[in-house]
């Protein structure tokens, strides 16, 4: 969940001039324009794509619950000046179904920020009937607001990693941003060519070893069966159906910004599914991991498999968020580890549930969190 920043501190102004109400389909166009204004990644897609995605996320075939709504802040002229996307979720906890709520896409105009509208939006969201609230992929300004309202960051769910798949290309990526467009492509080609030669020469870190497992595309039904096996060792996990997974996959595949979506299963020599990974392959770019999970003790196998697959798809680097059970495995020991690059946040008044949420007994990957589709 992000919050657009302003260059200069703003003086507080009366917040009563902004009315907060439930988000309706008639507000979508205004939220699209706000997204384009505040989030650079939204400028890489068409307004039509954003409109359809927002409609799909919050209104089409979506589980709803009375008292849990996405919210907008409207100024006296009727202009939408703030937005908070809210999605109710069902989780299983101690054998029972409980209600959770996820928020994302927090944004507000400068005038609304000066009137503390982001805090009011979060306050209204957190006062809902859900058992716990959470946000994923949050920036530092949102973490500070969240903490002020009684929530906490989950340090074990906020560890991100980067794996250089092609060291020369990985090392020159930051430099390319400093050069004019006319030089970026030649530098990229030279770096990629150097990585190829390093790989032929079998220099350290220049190649990825093929894991001693079978990798093959995996379908929704197989992922669902695998999730049920993983969930047996967890105390809290999402109550997900195959139709829920189908919708998530459809949304992910429709996003044109991140590359080709792959969902790959890992099979041992007895043809048993031991793990899988879902990620975007981007030749010459960053391969973003949506979900990478395995049976306990198979984390190294999982790490090697996804790195090898992404390398063969032409990726420069692999990027993702580790889950607590992967901390201390190659996901953090053989990668650049970045705690707090972005934050997973929880708000829960039940101390026992809060302890579980912050532990490795909770199942929460990027696929259950903010998919940054807008």
**How much is the average pLDDT of 19-36?**
96
> Residues spanned by CATH 3.40.630.30 within the chain?
15-154, 160-165+208-339
- Per-residue burial over 143-161, b if 16 or more Cβ lie within 10 Å, else e, is bebbeeeebbbbebbbbbb
Whether 177 shows a pLDDT value over 50: the answer reads yes
Q: What pLDDT score does 6 carry? A: 35
**How much is the average pLDDT of 128-133?**
96
**How much is the average pLDDT of 16-38?**
94
Residues in the chain: 374
The string of pLDDT tens digits covering residues 239-282 is 999 999 999 999 999 999 999 999 999 999 999 999 999 999 99
The string of pLDDT tens digits covering residues 89-101 is 999 999 899 999 9
* Topology at the third CATH level for domain 160-165+208-339: Aminopeptidase (3.40.630)
- Per-residue burial over 239-270, b if 16 or more Cβ lie within 10 Å, else e, is ebeeebbebbbeebeebeebbebbbbbbbeee
Q: Are 53 and 373 in contact (CB under 8 A)?
A: yes
Whether 195 shows a pLDDT value over 80: the answer reads no
**How much is the average pLDDT of 163-174?**
77
pTM above 0.75, yes or no: yes
- Per-residue pLDDT band for 201 (boundaries 50, 70, 90) equals low
- Cα separation, 103 vs 150, whole angstroms: 15
- Cα separation, 291 vs 324, whole angstroms: 13
Q: What is the CATH number of domain 15-154?
A: 3.40.630.30
Would you list the DSSP string of 57-111? HHTSS---BTTB--EEEE-TTS-EEEEEEEEEEEEEETTEEEEEEEEEEEEE-HH
- Cα separation, 35 vs 273, whole angstroms: 40
Q: What pLDDT score does 371 carry? A: 72
Q: What pLDDT score does 18 carry? A: 94
Bridge partner residues of 293 (DSSP): 276
Mean pLDDT check: name the lowest of 7-11, 31-35, 156-160, 221-225: 7-11
DSSP-based helix, strand, coil % in the chain, nearest 5: 40, 25, 35
Q: Could you tell me the CA-to-CA distances from 176 to 58, 150, 164, 182, 191 in Å, in that order?
A: 38, 42, 16, 11, 11
- Per-residue burial over 12-32, b if 16 or more Cβ lie within 10 Å, else e, is eeeeebbebeebeeebbebbb
Q: Of 253, 270, 265, nearest to 373 (Cα)?
A: 253
Q: What pLDDT score does 7 carry? A: 33
**How much is the average pLDDT of 3-15?**
45
The string of pLDDT tens digits covering residues 284-316 is 889 999 999 999 999 999 999 999 999 999 999
């Amino acid at each position: 969940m992000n919050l657009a920043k302003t260059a200069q501190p703003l003086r507080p102004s009366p917040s009563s001039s902004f009315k907060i109400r439930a988000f309706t389909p008639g507000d979508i166009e205004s939220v699209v324009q706000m997204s384009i204004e505040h989030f650079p990644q939204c400028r890489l897609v068409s307004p039509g794509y954003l409109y359809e995605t927002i409609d799909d996320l919050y209104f089409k075939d979506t589980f709803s619950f009375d008292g849990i709504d996405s919210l907008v802040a409207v100024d006296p002229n009727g202009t939408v000046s703030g937005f908070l996307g809210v999605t109710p979720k069902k989780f299983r906890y101690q054998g029972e179904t409980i209600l959770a709520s996820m928020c994302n896409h927090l944004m507000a105009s400068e005038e609304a920020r000066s009137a503390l509208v982001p805090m009011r939006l979060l306050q209204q969201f957190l006062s809902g009937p859900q058992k716990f609230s959470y946000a994923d992929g949050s920036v530092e300004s949102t973490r500070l607001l969240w903490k002020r309202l009684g929530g906490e960051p989950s340090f074990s769910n906020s560890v991100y990693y980067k794996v250089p798949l092609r060291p020369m290309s990985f090392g020159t990526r930051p430099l390319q941003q400093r050069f004019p467009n006319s030089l970026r492509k030649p530098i990229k080609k030279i770096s990629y060519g150097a990585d190829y030669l390093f790989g032929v020469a079998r220099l350290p870190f220049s190649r990825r070893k093929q894991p001693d497992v079978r990798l093959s595309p995996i379908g929704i039904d197989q992922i669902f069966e695998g999730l049920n096996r993983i969930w047996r060792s967890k105390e809290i996990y999402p109550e997900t159906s195959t139709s829920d997974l189908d919708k998530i996959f459809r949304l992910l595949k429709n996003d044109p910004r991140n590359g080709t979506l792959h969902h790959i299963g890992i099979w041992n020599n007895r043809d048993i599914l031991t793990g899988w990974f879902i990620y975007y392959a981007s030749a010459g770019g960053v391969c973003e991991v949506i979900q990478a999970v395995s049976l306990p003790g198979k984390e190294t196998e999982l790490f090697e498999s996804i790195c090898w697959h992404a390398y063969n798809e032409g990726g420069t680097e692999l990027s993702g968020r580790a889950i607590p059970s992967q901390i201390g495995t190659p996901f953090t020991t053989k990668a650049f580890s970045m705690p707090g690059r972005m934050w997973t946040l929880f708000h829960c008044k039940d101390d026992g549930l809060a302890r579980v949420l912050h532990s490795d007994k909770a199942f929460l990957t990027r696929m259950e969190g903010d998919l940054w589709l807008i």
